[in-house]
Structure formats: C-alpha cells, structure tokens
Amino acid sequence: MFRNSGLWLAATFLLAPALLWGQGFSGFLEATTPPPPKTYVEFDHYTAKVGEIVTLTVRVFPVTGWYLYSILVSPADGPEPTRIVTSTATHLAVGVLQETQPEWVEDEAFGVKLPVHRQAFVLTQRFKIAEGTKSGVQDWKGELHFQSCNQRICAPLQRLALTAPLEVDQDL
C-alpha cells in the first residue's frame, strides 16, 4: 500500500497520537493552578493622620469550584492558611487578621475537617499609620497568600499582589 515503509511508520507513530490528542485527550495534563480569586481592597477612610488606626478590608471572590483555606487552618493539618503580608513600613498591623465565618468541610485532600471559603469572604486588618509618615498618598502594598483546592487537587501556595491607597494628612 505504501511505497516507503519508513513513511508509513512515521505517520503511524507520530501523527496518530497527535490526532488522538486533539480528539479529547487534551485534558490529560489539566492545570493544577486555578486562576487567582478576584479581590477588592480598600481602607475604611480615604484620609488618615499619623498615629491614626484605620481598617483595611479585602474582599475575596474564590473561583467557582475552588475554595480557599481559612486563616484558622493550622499548617500542621497540611494546607497553608490564608494570610495577608504587608510590605510597606508606613502601615503597622494592629491586632490579628479577621475573617468572615468559614464553612467546615471534610477535606479529602488532607483527610481532616477544615475551615474553608467557597463563596466570597472578607478579611479585615487594622493598621496604625506610623510616626514620621509623610503627607500625601501612601499606598498600602502587600500580598494575599493562599492555597486553594477543589476536592480533587490542591494548588501550591499562591501569592497575589494587593494595593490600597490612603492619603495621609498631617493637618487633620
């Protein structure tokens, strides 16, 4: 049928798998990292003075089908807890990070009951504006650290950059 048996072998062993791959096998190497959750970050005031305490609110919207672990999770249980890491020296954390009530689920990936967020949730952290902070817009910059799962697979720890503007006014 084929004049060149080498050509027939090449077509069979090289092209056939490529054709099969395009016919529904592309999900075989499914990505394990979901898109990051949508976030909305803001302070409870638009302006503040040095020494004043303001509250940062982070609204987090997990991707459908995925959940993020609560701030209450102990790393001893396996997953990484959700947390906020601040990278600006002008905003000093006061107290502990707070969150809306998580849902407790039997997590198949880790084999224990853990607090998670499947739906939108809110994180709040109070900050004091540091002494010596200059007047003007002083953006809070930080990261949301989180791990997400979908009851089948867990993504590794992820980091999402966050920013919230705050005007510091010495004359308030």
The answer to whether the CB of 144 falls within 8 A of the CB of 58 is yes
Q: Assess whether 74 and 158 both reside in one domain.
A: yes
Calpha distance 67→37 (Å, rounded): 10
Domain that holds residue 55: 33-168
Containing H/E element for 41?
A: strand 38-43
Kindly give, in sequence order, each residue whose CB lies less than 8 Å from that of residue 49, ignoring residues fewer than 6 positions away: 129, 168, 169, 170, 172
With beta carbons less than 8 A apart as the criterion, state whether 161 and 80 touch.
Answer: no
The model's pLDDT over 127-161, given as tens digits with 9 standing for 90+, comes to 999 999 999 999 999 999 999 988 788 899 999 99
Are residues 105 and 21 part of one domain? no
- Report how many domains make up the chain: 2
What pLDDT shows up at residue 112?
A: 87
Residues 133, 161 share a domain: yes
| pTM (global) more than 0.75 | yes
Q: What is the pLDDT of residue 1?
A: 53
